């Protein structure tokens, strides 16, 4: 079976993990801060806070920006449910902004229209989460301009996008956002096994996230955390936090993977270029990348006639090729339908879902396997 995605773990990666397993610290040791600084430096951000998943990072980012009951968070319906669930974890309200059909990212035009209406009825969002689908950045400069006008905070969900660029800057620099979220799940650009990170240029946000990821505990002296002269213990819980820490084992794998990220992105681009070339005469629409963006190519998504989507998926499965569909629009999941959303609310996201197929794309995809994928698609249309 050719999977749609998988990790690329080398002998060197394994050796780095084994070093930690043989060391004094398996968690809360030196590897996590080293990994955080390396990722932040690579992306061009001041602070990186590693956690056990991108979902945890989204949750903590919302809390750090004081999202709570009565507030609104808007995100893209074309994403995994975590991009919306982070609002619900905080007791806030969730809504969506439809996508641009070419990039499959949040449409700045639809966002502006929705903001104009929301301002009139007093329901402006406190936070907007643009999702960089498949590794291509949203048009962050336009979204940032709207944030200045309407007063919302921005969390970039860059779970797909480390290694990608926007306007010649690496995604994660937080040039146009308050916080950027990365994912290190095994199918992403680099992996820690499971894990994520929040990047920011604001020290106050970084301090909040650091505290919240470890039970809301701090050992720093504050006006409400003053150590008594005879007290030997020096930690206090100031907020209701969580155990969202990343282990040194995971950080060691991530640090080793980070050293190869540019070669990983280059290899993914080569695979994409070959797909694009071979599919140029097929009745499919290949991914379109905005001139301001350099995608990290987490996914390779083609669009076909809606009548053929399921048939092509089954045809590839019969050939031992595991395709996928990204994503079921969040608002169409039963949980969100029960919140009042309905089919037809976000037509572009729904059209994307009914015509999209994600073909295999990963660093170790062998040329013969890619040729098999291409031949199988060709056979289907013939």
Is the pTM higher than 0.95? The answer reads yes
Residue 227, pLDDT score: 57
Q: How high is the pLDDT of residue 223?
A: 53
CA distance 5 to 227: 51
* Cα–Cα distance measured from residue 176 to residue 319, given in angstroms and rounded to the nearest whole number: 44
The CATH number that domain 11-258 falls under is 3.40.640.10
Task: Spell out the domain ranges in the chain.
Answer: 11-258, 261-381
Examine the pLDDT at 229 and tell me if it is beyond 90.
no
Residue 231 confidence (pLDDT): 67
pLDDT of residue 170: 98
Which pLDDT value is given to residue 208?
96
Assign 179 a pLDDT band (cuts: 50, 70, 90).
very high
Rounded-to-integer distance, Cα 272 and Cα 266, Å: 10
> What dihedral angle (degrees, nearest 10) is formed by the CA atoms of 280, 281, 283, 285?
10
Span 167-187, mean pLDDT?
Answer: 98
Asked if residue 232 has pLDDT above 80, the reply is no
Contacts of 280 (CB under 8 A, 6+ apart): 286
Q: State which fold the 261-381 domain adopts.
A: 3.90.1150
Across the chain, what does the average pLDDT equal? 96
């Amino acid at each position: 079976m050719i999977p749609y995605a998988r990790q690329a773990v080398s002998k060197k990666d394994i050796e780095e993990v084994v070093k930690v397993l043989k060391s004094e610290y398996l968690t809360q040791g030196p590897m996590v801060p080293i990994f955080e600084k390396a990722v932040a430096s690579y992306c061009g951000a001041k602070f990186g806070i590693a956690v056990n998943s991108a979902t945890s990072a989204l949750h903590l980012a919302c809390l750090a920006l004081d999202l709570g009951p009565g507030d609104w968070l808007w995100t893209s319906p074309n994403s995994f449910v975590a991009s919306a669930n982070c609002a619900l974890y905080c007791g806030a309200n969730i809504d969506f902004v439809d996508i641009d059909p070419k990039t499959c990212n949040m449409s700045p035009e639809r966002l502006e229209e929705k903001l104009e209406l929301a301002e009139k009825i007093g329901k402006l969002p406190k936070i907007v989460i643009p999702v960089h689908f498949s590794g291509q950045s949203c048009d962050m400069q336009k979204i940032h301009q709207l944030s200045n006008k309407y007063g919302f905070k921005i969390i970039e969900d860059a779970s797909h996008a480390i290694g990608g660029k926007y306007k010649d800057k690496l995604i994660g620099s937080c040039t146009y956002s308050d916080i950027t979220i990365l994912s290190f799940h095994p199918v992403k650009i680099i992996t820690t096994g499971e894990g994520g990170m929040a990047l920011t240029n604001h020290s106050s946000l970084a301090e909040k996230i650091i505290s919240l990821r470890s039970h809301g505990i701090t050992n720093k002296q504050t006006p409400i955390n003053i150590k008594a002269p005879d007290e030997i213990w020096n930690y206090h819980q100031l907020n209701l936090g969580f155990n969202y820490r990343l282990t040194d084992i995971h950080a060691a794998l991530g640090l080793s993977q980070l050293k190869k990220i540019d070669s990983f992105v280059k290899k993914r681009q080569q695979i994409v270029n070959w797909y694009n070339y071979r599919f140029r005469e097929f009745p499919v629409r290949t991914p379109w990348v905005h001139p301001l963006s350099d995608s990290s190519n987490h996914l390779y998504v083609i669009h076909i006639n809606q009548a053929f989507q399921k048939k092509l998926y089954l045809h590839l499965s019969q050939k031992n090729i595991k395709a996928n569909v990204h994503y079921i629009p969040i608002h169409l999941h039963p949980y969100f339908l029960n919140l009042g959303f309905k089919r037809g609310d976000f037509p572009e996201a729904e059209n994307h879902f009914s015509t999209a197929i994600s073909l295999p794309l990963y660093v170790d995809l062998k040329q013969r396997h890619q040729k098999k994928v291409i031949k199988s698609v060709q056979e289907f249309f013939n």
